Amino acid sequence: MGVLKMNRAPLSYACAALLLATSATVGLAQSGRGGGGASATSVGSGATSVGPTGSSGTIGSAGSAASGGSSASTVGTGGTSTGPAGTSSTVATGGSAAGIKPETRSRVKNDPNNLDARSRARAEGIDHARSRSETRTRIHHGQLETRTKTEARPTGGGQDVKSETRLRNGVLEQK
């Protein structure tokens, strides 16, 4: 059995180049608690990488809201990769709701150069409380975008508690 000799310098340079060419973002939007125990939170994350033979990127966001015995949550994620063989992209989404009259809707639309995934969830709680969450994730002409909005109405009324996170190409956008 022979001994395998390997020059590690090219591997070290490749790893260093990959670290320098990769960027990542994580964002947490305002989350709050209102009167009546209402809360709303959203979060997003994205990363891109560019190398000598291609590029790739991932993005995603999610959020949840709760108030008066109701809750609603949505999530969306997407990714794209371009290399010598072409481009491949994917999106996914989903949601859940619990409480009085829970309702969820999700859809994925596939048009040329455009993947669009959306989820909505909502439910009512006791004493006029309500929870809602909505997530949209898109890959449009190679651009990655995601947005999650959440909203909770406290029991007995009052000001809604809201949260929103937006990312474009891995960069957190402020509203």
Q: What tens digit of pLDDT does each residue of 17-66 get?
A: 333 334 444 444 445 555 568 999 999 999 888 899 999 999 999 999 99
- pLDDT in the model for residue 63: 96
Reduce the DSSP state of residue 114 to 3 states and report it: strand
Contact 117, 69 (CB under 8 A): no
* C-alpha neighbours within 13 Å on the C-beta side of residue 156: 4
Asked if residue 4 has pLDDT above 60, the reply is no
pLDDT band at 14 (very low <50, low <70, confident <90, very high): very low
DSSP structure string for 41-94: EEEEEEEEEEETTEEEEEEEEEEEEEETTEEEEEEEEEEEEEETTEEEEEEEEE
- pLDDT in the model for residue 23: 43
- pLDDT in the model for residue 95: 97
66-106 confidence digits (pLDDT tens): 999 999 999 999 999 999 998 899 999 999 999 999 999 99
- pLDDT in the model for residue 43: 93
126-169 confidence digits (pLDDT tens): 999 999 999 999 999 888 999 999 999 999 888 999 999 999 98
- pLDDT in the model for residue 36: 64
One-letter amino acid of 29 = A
Contact 65, 72 (CB under 8 A): yes
